[in-house]
Structure 1
């Protein structure tokens, strides 16, 4: 009904504009009589001997078309429908006029032969199991194939995530459900069964949407445009977004294989902005036979808890006897990490952007450095930051790879950040004795015993 009102308003809009300046005159246009509505339904037998191809034609000027042909609906003035299966089909036509909707008498047509070429496509088979079969799908709430049940894409993304318009609204966010359970409640969302048993029929059992319950409808898969139209049934989805999609039956396919598929529907602008809600499904057969992979423990990160020969760490830091070596915080690479159980997770500064690494850090460490040296036979430490120089000495505890800086000295500072390293004793958490010149060194500045986690900063040789 909402869709009908929108169509009627679009038709009546010019009339409203014409009469807007007339005082106290709110009369709408005249509703046409059924005798004034002209439409045709043709079955050109030269295209299909069984009458499978049906052409719908609205010949009434100034009206909007509203077709219901049993396996789908259309609003086109002229449309072509192809029925793959023989049988009797009832076609309903209504015309939206300036005065209201005129509903015409239904027309019954006969399709006398099957033409299964219209559903003979790998995508039809993947969706329904093929002619004479059915296939049941469930929402991938347990992340057996995808990372979770729901992804988000831009309005111009299409098949396999490709951007359909150059420079268009193309982006994606694919949250893992394990870390984002707020997306939707866990539970059994029901089943969605597509079949080709005498026609393209679909049954959806919405276990998490009692107001929808079980829906029985039809569907049409356009293999050229990678779109799916569901009529009188809606795909499995969550209650929280049920009111955020005006047309659940207009679906864009992002992927469809034997085991998994992705349906994209357009979220309304009023619900956090227009975007594609991409629901991820797996076949029930795949789900029932799914066996979780054994977790593979790759061990700790390369260089974690390094072993040095006597004096090797000192030489790496300073460059050797009577030498000095300058180190920079890796601001343009991967400057900070949280290394838990020997494994870090950041890949670049962007990994912790804003909440961790941010522009205040970039400003704080620009043109700044630290230096370890052995000038004058003493182990010296210098921190040069924002024109100020802090000096002292350092010692190394080789059995724990700990470095203690004298006079309360520290690594490069950023007092505006919660990560600011204030410790004077730092630990070499990761290092590469044979490749430090290209891979640098990770200094741990604070340790969370409960998580076995180091906050570590990455220093490199400039």
Structure 2
């Protein structure tokens, strides 16, 4: 009898243990229908290049996606400095997840003179209606005119930096040609890479002054790409999107390219005017 009682106690204990270990069932709330999403995207009467975004959907967190980035503000203003059409996406975070409204297309008819009068635009491209040409700071013997070399090394967010000078394992010596930014009608960009002609091209660019980044479209900034020599540029995949600007003056510019292993490569450029006068 004692053994039977012990067996019953053990059996009941096992039932209690397993019933207490059932996983919680998590269920999401209902997904908000996109017809319930209310918002406006209207030009600022004081500056039609500014589009005022207003979320009118109650009791939700808005999520805006624009060419200049994302935002969760109920009311926000986005500047579109150049003529053309752009798309704005509006979404809200509901109990059932993120719900998107149909995209809105905005049309801009003029250059925003105020935006491109910012000192960064002037230093990079010369100002409204003007152009500016840059060169990679290295020549055929590996010498530089302003920097101590064409490429420096750094950790993410400049946690460390190494000015390595020049060596053929860093970058090929040579005349890399020129790249030109202009604000004539729109933000035009031209790259004439004499060392690697396949990397040359024409397109446009965008300068994000708040984020301190530069993007090019249709062409890449001047850089090396020699897989046979194992130079640094061959180990970078992104040469166009949101490149960090470490420094920018009237005559000198440093752009960051992130190597595939995460190391930051700081590419050093000088203006054509500086090159011709020094």
TM-score, scaled to structure 2? 0.66
Residue in 2 that maps onto 1:90 = 85
1:108 lines up with 2:100 in the alignment = no
State the 1:151 CA deviation: 0.5
Deviations along 1:96-149, whole A, 9 cap, x unmatched? 99999989556233456x652322233322211122100011111221111211
Secondary structure of the equivalent of 2:120?
helix
CA distance, structure 2, for counterparts of residue 59 and residue 212 of structure 1: 46
Alignment of 1:59-208 (within 5 A): 66-68=65-67, 73-77=68-72, 80-84=77-81, 87=83, 89-93=84-88, 104=102, 107-111=105-109, 115-142=112-139, 143-157=144-158, 169=159, 171-177=160-166, 180-208=167-195
Deviations along 1:313-371, whole A, 9 cap, x unmatched? xxxxxxxxxxxxxxxxxxxxxxxxxxxxxxxxxxxxxxxxxxxxxxxxxxxxxxxxxxx
Deviations along 1:51-72, whole A, 9 cap, x unmatched? 121234678979975434xxxx
Give yes or no for contact 1:151–1:173 (8 Å, CA) kept in 2: yes
CA distance, structure 2, for counterparts of residue 211 and residue 33 of structure 1: 49
1:55 lines up with 2:52 in the alignment = yes
Gaps of at least 5 residues in structure 2 are: 1-22, 24-30, 226-231
Deviations along 1:17-57, whole A, 9 cap, x unmatched? xxxx9xxxxxxxxx999867766422221xx2x41212346
CA distance, structure 2, for counterparts of residue 229 and residue 117 of structure 1: 19
Gaps of at least 5 residues in structure 1 are: 1-20, 22-30, 158-168, 291-462
Deviations along 1:258-317, whole A, 9 cap, x unmatched? 22111123334xx2xx33211000112222333xxxxxxxxxxxxxxxxxxxxxxxxxxx
Q: 1:241 to 1:37 in 2, by over 3 A?
A: farther
CA distance, structure 1, for counterparts of residue 71 and residue 194 of structure 2: 35
TM-score, scaled to structure 1? 0.42
Q: 1:251 to 1:38 in 2, by over 3 A?
A: farther
Give yes or no for contact 1:33–1:102 (8 Å, CA) kept in 2: no
CA distance, structure 1, for counterparts of residue 107 and residue 250 of structure 2: 35
Structure whose alpha-carbon radius of gyration is higher: 1
Q: 1:190 to 1:81 in 2, by over 3 A?
A: farther
1:259 to 240, 245, 251: 251
Say which structure, 1 or 2, has more relative contact order (CA 8 Å, 6+ apart). Answer: 2
Residue in 2 that maps onto 1:237 = 223
CA distance, structure 2, for counterparts of residue 212 and residue 58 of structure 1: 43
Alignment of 1:13-412 (within 5 A): 40-45=40-45, 48=46, 50-56=47-53, 66-68=65-67, 73-77=68-72, 80-84=77-81, 87=83, 89-93=84-88, 104=102, 107-111=105-109, 115-142=112-139, 143-157=144-158, 169=159, 171-177=160-166, 180-209=167-196, 212-222=199-209, 227-232=212-217, 233-239=219-225, 240-246=232-238, 248-268=240-260, 271=261, 274-290=262-278
Residue in 2 that maps onto 1:444 = none
CA distance, structure 2, for counterparts of residue 84 and residue 150 of structure 1: 32
Deviations along 1:74-117, whole A, 9 cap, x unmatched? 233455332446x4x312245799999989556233456x6523
Give yes or no for contact 2:37–2:101 (8 Å, CA) kept in 1: no
Secondary structure of the equivalent of 1:144?
coil
Q: Higher strand proportion, which one?
A: 2
CA distance, structure 1, for counterparts of residue 32 and residue 77 of structure 2: 26
CA distance, structure 2, for counterparts of residue 215 and residue 131 of structure 1: 19
State the 1:185 CA deviation: 1.6
